[in-house]
């Protein structure tokens, strides 16, 4: 049934008129090394990519867009996802970015190829890391859309894939809550990460013993310590760092790194800019 649905959704996606042209190759000569880099996600999850990118590429200027009003993306149709992601691309291209990081596993594993052909600048995906040793007992936690993607069927057939329909939305809604942000703890950089989030209930399908637990959604990295505490024998991994390395490699290959003398920065755009800026301070290492 999923395959049929996703074929139908793909047809609808193809029927959509691209808003920003259908170039399959960006025009490298138009890209300016000193231009900013766009980073986007359905909400606060992509901040986990942004933080690492800002550390690794301190001379770069980043613009972050969280589509918090439309979060979560994890249960949306491919058609909706494509339209939302394309709008994000459009926001960034109107700011003259030289590259865009899709800091969302859901978009990166589903409509990425269509998005790439509609983007005039390079796109860098964020995906669950490839586990080389398939004999490791592996759990992939991700959104329902990521779970049913071709990427996951191809690379995670050996693993237990656990689609979590609620966790990203809970993190999005409750981690950034007035109660949470007003506590004394928040003032010294600690949030009550599990207030109103019932991790045990979300993870009730994860009854095995695992060597590797993959956080296949950038929102989950906000709860990395809490998830790791539940899987004591496992190594907990996620795709943020690779996305950042891929970004650096792409910029280097295209001679698009900013001059080292320049000071970098981070700017937040969109209706939830303030929320995302505050949450940026709570990203765990
Ligand atoms: N943070 C996103 C991901 O990496 C999407 C979560 C959601 O909006 O459902 O999959």
* DSSP tally for the chain: helices H, then strands E: 14, 9
Q: Which protein residues touch ligand 1 with a CB less than 6 Å away? A: 41-42, 45, 71-74, 104-106, 143, 146, 168, 217-219
Cα(147) to centroid(ligand 1), Å: 12
The answer to whether the beta carbons of residues 125 and 108 sit under 8 Å apart is yes
pLDDT score of 248: 98
pLDDT score of 178: 85
Please give the number of the atom of ligand 1 that sits closest to the Cα of 220: 1
The answer to whether the beta carbons of residues 227 and 199 sit under 8 Å apart is yes
**Rounded Cα distance, 87 and 259, in Å:** 29
The residue to mutate among 40, 41, 149, having the most atoms of ligand 1 within 8 angstroms of its beta carbon, is 41
Please identify every residue annotated as catalytic: 104, 217
Tell me how far CA of residue 186 lies from CA of 31, 161, 220, in angstroms. Answer: 40, 34, 19
Please give the average pLDDT of every successive group of 10 residues along the chain, which has 285 residues.
42 40 52 96 98 97 98 97 98 97 98 96 98 98 98 98 97 90 84 89 95 98 95 97 98 95 96 95 82
Q: Which of 98, 93, 101 is nearest to 118 (CA)?
A: 93
Residue 232 DSSP symbol: T
Cα(225) to centroid(ligand 1), Å: 19
**Rounded Cα distance, 207 and 248, in Å:** 38
pLDDT score of 27: 58
Please give the number of the atom of ligand 1 that sits closest to the Cα of 72: 8
- Of all protein residues, whose CA lies closest to atom 8 belonging to ligand 1? 72
pLDDT score of 29: 55
Residues belonging to the chain: 285
- Of all protein residues, whose CA lies closest to atom 2 belonging to ligand 1? 104
Tell me how far CA of residue 57 lies from CA of 33, 62, 221, 252, 277, in angstroms. Answer: 13, 10, 20, 11, 19
The residue to mutate among 68, 101, 104, 276, having the most atoms of ligand 1 within 8 angstroms of its beta carbon, is 104
């Amino acid at each position: 049934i999923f395959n049929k649905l996703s074929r139908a959704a793909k047809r609808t996606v193809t029927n959509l008129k691209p808003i920003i042209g259908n170039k399959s190759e960006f025009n490298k000569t138009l890209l300016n090394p000193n231009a900013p880099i766009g980073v986007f996600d359905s909400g606060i999850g992509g901040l986990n990519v942004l933080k690492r990118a800002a550390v690794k590429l301190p001379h770069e200027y980043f613009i972050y867009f969280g589509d918090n009003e439309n979060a979560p993306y994890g249960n949306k149709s491919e058609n909706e996802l494509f339209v939302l992601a394309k709008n994000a691309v459009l926001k960034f291209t109107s700011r003259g970015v030289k590259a865009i990081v899709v800091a969302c596993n859901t978009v990166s594993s589903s409509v990425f190829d269509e998005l790439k052909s509609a983007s005039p600048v390079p796109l860098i995906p964020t995906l669950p890391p490839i586990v080389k040793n398939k004999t490791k007992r592996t759990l992939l936690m991700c959104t329902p859309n990521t779970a049913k993607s071709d990427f996951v069927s191809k690379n995670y057939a050996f693993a237990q894939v656990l689609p979590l329909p609620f966790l990203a939305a809970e993190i999005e809604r409750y981690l950034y809550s007035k109660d949470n942000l007003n506590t004394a703890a928040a003032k010294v950089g600690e949030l009550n990460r599990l207030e109103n989030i019932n991790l045990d209930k979300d993870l009730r399908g994860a009854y095995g013993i695992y060597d590797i637990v993959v956080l296949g959604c950038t929102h989950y990295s906000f709860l990395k310590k809490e998830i790791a505490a539940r899987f004591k024998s496992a190594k907990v991994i996620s795709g943020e760092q690779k996305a950042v390395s891929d970004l650096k490699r792409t910029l280097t290959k295209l001679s698009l790194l900013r001059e080292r003398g320049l000071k970098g920065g981070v700017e937040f755009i969109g209706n939830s800019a303030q929320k995302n800026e505050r949450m940026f301070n709570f990203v765990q290492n």
